[in-house]
């Protein structure tokens, strides 16, 4: 190895003296970037169809594989939500659906959307595609492990989907899988359904750990020359921090899944108290259901930020590029991401105010929950200040970003309500909670995903998505999502409980029947509107106009690959050398309104460029 | 390990060094091999797994109304007509620490490219690990013979058996995986795969002696977890 | 201490340091076994167990896993996340005490009912 490294050093030295203007003098030149310290990565190039497109070791292909699989599960989740809304809005039209079915759909919708759709899409999809490109690496550092990671995820999805077809159907315990009812008879899918769910989650965790190690080490150890941590795009920061959270939070999920599996098949009593079922005392006794809730939410709360942080990062980049202005307070944004990530491990029991835990915890967790609102609010201010007096281009991407900011603020403010114990107790388990988390971690990250798809599709495929269709897609989704979730806040305030199959004839429900029907109609329309995007993608792939290199005039490295779309190895002969952050837009004195990260300082001497 | 020489980079000690390493380009952990950094992060994640297990155990044991069995008696052995508390566990600890020491030396000789010595020490480590797993199997069968089951046991709180089998089982799985890899790497060292940089069977990446250190990190971690299990489960 | 710092310049460490740590680990394990042998009870037992445990864990991590020689960037990345675990432990101690209290209160004493 050492011999090879030496050879590389010679090559890089030549390169660096080249950038120093041919002079080999050691005096630090303006454009000096120190030589490469890591040897050129050894890449495995696939030759057959199987090694190129199926068991592929190229992070970009793996990213697309993750993306497509996650979108498939997302569509399943969408159909389940339609069925739920059909039951809630028009119960007479949903005669085929029993209460058991409804609970199963609720559970699977929740689990699919949080874990198998959003997490996989952001970290597996965008992470794999963008991290190596944005930090200037040839590929992820362990391509083989990366490939295994995707296939573990694929098997996890297959196992999850298989649970629809086993006797008893999938589990219907709610996505939080709270014991004891999860594994007791009477809960739908308490046989094979819950087992397959737990196995699938364990597989997901194992697969994700493999992927997560790749993302972390690629960001930490495989950046290109000149790429310091504080020159990375915020997208990478968001995905990186979310991956750190995932690596530390998923263990708690794995442990609780293992323990519940043992409770189910061996009859241990980790989580199971003494229970009388149908007049009969069960074998269980002495376990603590609260323990599961603590373990689950020790995972579950960081999970919220695993979904939110990549969205924060991506939206920062999109806003900056499409308003042609540097991101306001870049360092503050980075530290806010890191701070939110760190704090997210100290807030978990705010999901458990009504669980019967130690009453003193309410104080501790309400305090930490309100503290975490500070860095989050800082980010919102910074996005708005980035837009302030920017050269805003009101294209589809920007519309999604603006939609995100509004939705996120909305969901965030209801979060302040729910973070306080005394307000949460009457509101918990009502539609207010549903409205809150769908706004803040459902719709808001989804808007970012949509914006990101419109933004990076030209890179992935080389073709521009249709703007007209995109705007229809946005407006229907945006207005529709508000039609769905705004009324839900009200439903929560009048006390409509979540997870109920049918509201029967409660007096307060009589006033809400019309509202329920309205919400359901909106949900059908919004769901259907998502297929506009799929149509748009298919249409664009067939007849779309060519994008060319860097259609948005962005600065970050992914737009400066040797070919569009980038091939295996990303950057052709030589890796790019980075001299600045990716946000040099509209710099006074510069010829164009953007300065790519690879532009050396000597070319922009007369501009008022930020020193980064 | 020791600071390597890096062209154009000034190493500084302590927190100043940390600041300049973090602020520099290309790598944050200067001179740390990708695989080694990966193993460290993986171990951090695995630490959280074992921490969650042990925290659950603490919660279970702390809140039970039925008395927790006295581990000193339950795990005692009756040898030569005397009751010795925790004898088997003490021997298991001894074996695991011995294997940890041989592994540390194997890493050292690996870096010195002493192929023979490195190979033999890895083999010794593997045999130590195998002995440990064997003794654990003996311990399990003894307890099962005495009526301890995951769902009940004759000594007290039923959670005792549940946590015992789950935690030691999970640790034992880690040891077993480690033993398998130790044998594989012992073969690879003896066959000289690291001296002639033979490509891996699956990953088709070139081999290097740093892999021995990565394996060593995993093995020491298994030992480390045992230190905590020994203290919290057997002694407490 | 200074001795070790000097050795940092070479790529491997002298065999002596490993043998020393190895020996210390045996001694500490023996001590923690003695805690059980002499049946110390109460606070003394717990504090001794914890002290020996942390010493052993520290020695393994610092020397066998080379953390003592690693740069602070790596060391800090590895150790700071442990605060989350520390918080979890701390809160779960409070939680099991509360669970024990409520179990004793409702199952043994019989709750607030006369």
Domains of chain A, by residue range, sit at 54-232, 396-547
- Out of A44, A141, A255, name the one closest to residue B52 (CB): A255
Predicted model pTM: 0.93
What is the reported pLDDT for C12? 66
The whole-chain average pLDDT of chain A stands at: 90
Say if the Cβ atoms of B63 and A288 lie within 8 Å: yes
Dump pLDDT digits (tens) for C86-111.
999 999 999 999 999 999 998 888 77
Nearest one of B25, B19, B38, B100 to A149, comparing CA atoms:
B38
> Of C9, C65, C73, which has the smallest distance from its Cβ to B18's Cβ?
C73
Query: Residue A72 and residue A442: Cα distance in Å, rounded?
Result: 17
pLDDT band at A96 (very low <50, low <70, confident <90, very high): confident
Which pLDDT band, with edges at 50, 70 and 90, does A590 fall under? confident
Task: Give tens-digit pLDDT for C14-58.
Answer: 888 889 999 999 999 999 888 888 888 888 888 999 999 999 999
Q: Do B8 and A209 touch (CB under 8 A)?
A: no
Percentage above 70 pLDDT, chain B = 98
Is the per-residue pLDDT at A28 higher than 60? no
Amino acid B113: pLDDT: 85
**A329 torsion bin: left (phi>0), alpha (psi -120 to 50), beta (else):** left
Q: Cα torsion at A576, A218, B27, B111 (round to 10°)?
A: -120
Element (H, E) at A265: helix A234-265
Of the pLDDT bands very low, low, confident and very high (cuts 50, 70, 90), residue C2 is: very low
Inter-residue contact A396 to A465 (CB < 8 Å): yes
Test the A interface: residue of B18, B26, B27 with most A CBs within 10 Å:
B26
**Residue A162, token pair as written in the block:** 């298989």
Cis link prior to A180 (omega < 30° from 0)?
A: yes
Indicate the range of A302-316, A568-582, B134-148, B204-218 predicted with least confidence. Answer: B204-218
- Mean pLDDT along residues B38-61: 95
pLDDT computed for residue A21 by the predictor: 42
Q: In what helix (H) or strand (E) does residue A373 lie, and over which residues does it extend?
A: helix A361-387
Domain ranges within chain C, ordered by starting residue? 2-71, 81-114
Calpha distance A140→A59 (Å, rounded) = 6
Decide: A293 and A259 in contact? Cβ < 8 Å: no
| A279 vs A10, residue with greater confidence | A279
The answer to whether the Cβ–Cβ distance between B216 and C26 falls below 8 Å is: no
What is the nearest CA distance from B144 to chain C, expressed in angstroms?
A: 23
CB C27 within 8 A of CB B117: no
CA separation for the pair A35, A22 (Å, rounded): 15
Residues 126-165, chain B, touching A (beta carbon < 8 A): 150-151, 157-159, 161-163
Residue C113 Cα, gap to closest chain B Cα (Å): 20
What are φ and ψ of residue B151, in 5° steps? -100, -10
Residue B209's SS3 state is coil
Domains of chain B with CATH codes:
14-235 (1.20.120.80)
For residues A514-523, give the mean pLDDT: 92
At residue C3, does pLDDT exceed 70? Answer: no
Interface test with B, best of C74, C100, C102, C106 (most B CBs within 10 A): C74
Q: How do residues A190-202 score in pLDDT, each as one tens digit?
A: 889 999 999 999 9
In this model, does residue A91 exceed pLDDT 90? no
Mean pLDDT of the residues in chain B:
89
Provide mean pLDDT across the span B87-104: 91
Show which subunits contact A, needing at least 3 CB pairs below 8 angstroms.
B, C
Q: Is the pLDDT of residue A362 over 80?
A: yes
Q: Does A270 touch chain C (CB under 8 A)?
A: no
What integer is the mean pLDDT of A536-565?
Answer: 91
Q: How many CA atoms lie within 13 A of B69 on its CB side?
A: 23
Phi and psi torsions of A576, nearest 5°:
-70, 155
pLDDT tens digits, residue range C59-93? 999 999 988 988 899 999 999 999 999 999 999 99
CA-based nearest residue in chain C for residue B218:
C65
CB atoms within 10 A of CB A229: 18
Q: In this complex, do A345 and C91 lie within 8 Å of one another by their Cβ atoms?
A: no
Tokens, residue A246: 């995932």
CA-CA distance, B67 to B158, in Å (whole number)? 10
Q: Which of residues 177-236 of B touch A (CB under 8 A)?
A: 197, 202-206, 208
B207 or A222, greater pLDDT: A222
CB contact under 8 A, C88 and A290: no
What would the mean pLDDT of A6-22 be, rounded to a whole number?
41
**Interface residue B56 vs chain A (CB under 8 A):** yes
B80: closest CA of chain A, how far (Å): 36
Q: Do C100 and B63 touch (CB under 8 A)?
A: yes
* Contact assessment for residue A520 and residue A88, using Cβ atoms and an 8 Å cutoff: yes
Asked whether A210 and A152 are in contact (CB, 8 A), the reply is: yes
Q: What number of other Cβ atoms are within 10 A of residue C70's Cβ?
A: 21
Q: Any idea which residue has 């918080």 for tokens?
A: C87
What is the rounded radius of gyration, in angstroms, for the C-alpha atoms of chain A? 25
Q: What is the DSSP letter of A170?
A: S
pLDDT band at residue B216 using 50, 70 and 90 as cut-offs: very high
Evaluate if residue A506 carries a pLDDT over 50. yes
Q: What residues of C are in contact with residue A358 (Cβ under 8 Å)? A: 94-95, 97-98
Closest partner CB to B27 (pick from A220, A251, A283): A220
Residues 275-294 (A) with a CB less than 8 A from some CB of C:
288, 290, 294
Q: If pLDDT is split at 50, 70 and 90, which confidence band does A513 have?
A: confident
Q: Which subunits have 3 or more CB–CB pairs within 8 Å of chain B?
A: A, C
Residue A25 confidence (pLDDT) above 70: no
**pLDDT tens readout for residues A450-474:** 999 999 999 999 999 999 999 999 9
Q: What is the pLDDT of residue A331?
A: 94
Six-digit token pair at A127?
A: 């992470």
Burial of residue C41 (number of CB atoms within 10 Å: 0-12, 13-18, 19+): exposed
Disruptive mutation site among A144, A216, A251 for chain B (greatest number of B CBs within 10 Å) = A251
Closest residue on chain B to A283 (Cα): B151
Best of A31, A149, A220 to substitute, by most chain B Cβ atoms within 10 angstroms, is A220
pLDDT at A130 over 60: yes
Nearest-CB residue to B63 (from C11, C60, C103): C103
pLDDT in tens, B189-199: 998 888 877 77
pLDDT reading at A5 higher than 50: no
């Amino acid at each position: 190895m050492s011999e090879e490294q030496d050879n590389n050093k010679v090559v890089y030295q030549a390169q660096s003296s080249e950038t120093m203007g041919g002079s080999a003098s050691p005096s630090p030149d303006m454009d000096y970037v120190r030589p490469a310290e890591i040897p050129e990565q050894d890449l495995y190039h696939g030759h057959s169809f199987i090694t190129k497109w199926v068991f592929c070791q190229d992070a970009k292909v793996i990213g697309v594989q993750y993306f497509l699989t996650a979108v498939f599960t997302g569509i399943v989740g969408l159909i389940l939500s339609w069925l739920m809304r059909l039951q809630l809005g028009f119960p007479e039209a949903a005669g085929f659906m029993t209460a058991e079915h409804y609970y199963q759909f609720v559970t699977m919708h929740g689990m699919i959307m949080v874990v198998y759709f959003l997490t996989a899409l952001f970290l597996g999809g965008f992470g794999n595609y963008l991290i190596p490109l944005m930090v200037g690496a040839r590929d992820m550092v362990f391509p083989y492990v990366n490939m295994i990671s995707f296939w573990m995820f694929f098997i996890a999805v297959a196992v999850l989907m298989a649970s629809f077809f086993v006797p008893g159907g999938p589990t219907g315990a709610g996505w939080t899988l709270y014991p004891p009812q999860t594994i007791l008879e009477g809960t739908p899918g308490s046989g094979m359904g819950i087992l397959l769910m737990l196995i699938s989650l364990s597989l997901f965790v194992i697969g994700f750990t493999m992927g997560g190690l790749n993302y972390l080490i690629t960001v930490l150890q495989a950046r290109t020359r000149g790429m310091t941590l504080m020159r990375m795009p915020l997208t990478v920061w968001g995905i990186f921090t979310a991956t750190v959270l995932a690596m530390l939070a998923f263990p708690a999920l794995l442990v609780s899944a293992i323990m519940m599996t043992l409770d189910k098949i061996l009859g241990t009593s980790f989580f199971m108290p003494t229970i009388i079922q149908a007049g009969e005392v069960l074998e269980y006794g002495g376990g603590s259901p609260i323990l599961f809730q603590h373990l689950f939410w020790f995972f579950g709360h960081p999970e919220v930020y695993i979904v939110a942080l990549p969205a924060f990062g991506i939206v920062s980049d999109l806003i900056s590029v499409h308003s042609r202005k540097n991101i306001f307070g870049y360092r503050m944004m980075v530290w806010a991401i890191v701070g939110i990530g760190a704090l997210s491990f100290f807030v978990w029991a705010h999901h458990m105010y009504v669980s019967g835990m130690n009453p003193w915890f309410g104080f501790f967790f309400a305090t930490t929950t309100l503290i975490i609102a500070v860095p989050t609010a800082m980010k919102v201010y910074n996005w708005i200040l980035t837009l302030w007096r920017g050269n805003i281009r009101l294209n589809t991407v920007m519309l999604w970003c603006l939609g995100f900011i509004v939705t996120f603020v909305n969901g965030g403010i209801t979060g302040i309500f729910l973070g306080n114990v005394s307000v949460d107790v009457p509101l918990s388990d009502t539609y207010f909670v549903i409205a809150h988390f769908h706004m803040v971690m459902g719709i808001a990250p989804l808007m970012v995903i949509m914006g990101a798809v419109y933004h990076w599709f030209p890179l992935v495929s080389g073709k521009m998505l249709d703007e007209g269709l995109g705007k229809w897609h946005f407006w229907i989704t945006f207005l529709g999502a508000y039609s769905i979730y705004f009324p839900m806040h009200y439903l929560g305030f009048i006390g409509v409980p979540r997870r109920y199959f049918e509201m029967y004839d409660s007096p307060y429900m009589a006033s809400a029947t019309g509202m329920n029907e309205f919400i359901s109609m909106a949900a059908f329309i919004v769901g259907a509107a998502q297929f506009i995007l799929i149509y748009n993608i298919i249409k664009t792939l067939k007849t779309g106009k060519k994008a060319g290199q860097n259609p948005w005039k962005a600065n970050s490295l992914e737009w400066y690959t040797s070919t569009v779309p980038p091939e295996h190895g990303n950057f052709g002969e030589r890796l790019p050398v980075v001299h600045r952050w990716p946000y040099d837009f509209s710099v006074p004195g510069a010829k164009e309104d953007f300065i790519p990260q690879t532009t050396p300082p000597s070319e922009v001497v007369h501009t008022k460029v930020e020193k980064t | 390990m020791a600071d390597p020489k890096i062209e154009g980079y000034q190493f500084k000690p302590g927190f100043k060094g940390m600041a300049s390493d973090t602020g520099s380009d290309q790598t944050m952990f200067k001179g740390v091999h990708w695989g080694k950094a990966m193993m460290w992060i993986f171990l951090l994640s695995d630490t959280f797994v074992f921490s969650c297990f042990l925290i659950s155990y603490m919660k279970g044991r702390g809140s039970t109304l039925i008395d927790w069995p006295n581990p000193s008696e339950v795990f005692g052995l009756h040898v030569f007509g005397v009751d010795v508390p925790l004898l088997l566990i003490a021997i298991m600890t001894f074996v695991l620490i011995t294997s940890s020491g041989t592994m540390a030396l194997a890493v050292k000789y690996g870096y010195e490219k002493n192929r023979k010595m490195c190979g033999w020490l890895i083999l010794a480590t593997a045999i130590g690990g195998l002995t440990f797993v064997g003794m654990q199997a003996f311990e399990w069968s003894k307890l099962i013979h005495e009526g301890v089951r995951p769902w009940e046991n004759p000594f007290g709180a039923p959670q005792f058996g549940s946590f015992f089998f789950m935690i030691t089982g999970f640790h034992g799985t880690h040891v077993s995986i480690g033993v398998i890899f130790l044998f594989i790497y012992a073969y690879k060292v003896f066959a000289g795969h690291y001296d002639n940089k033979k490509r891996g069977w699956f990953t088709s990446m070139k081999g290097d002696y740093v892999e021995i250190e990565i394996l060593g990190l995993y093995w020491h971690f298994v030992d480390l977890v045992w230190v905590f299990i020994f203290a919290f489960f057997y002694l407490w | 201490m200074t001795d070790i710092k000097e050795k940092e310049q070479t790529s491997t460490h002298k065999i002596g340091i490993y043998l020393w740590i190895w020996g210390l680990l045996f001694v500490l394990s023996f001590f923690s076994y003695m805690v059980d042998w002499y049946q110390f009870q109460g606070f003394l037992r717990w504090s001794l167990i914890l002290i020996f445990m942390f010493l052993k864990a520290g020695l393994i991590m610092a020397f066998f896993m080379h953390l003592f020689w690693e740069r602070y960037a790596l060391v800090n990345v590895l150790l700071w996340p442990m605060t989350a675990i520390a918080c979890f432990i701390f809160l779960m101690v409070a939680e099991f005490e509360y669970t024990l209290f409520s179990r004793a209160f409702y199952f043994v004493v019989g709750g607030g009912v006369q």
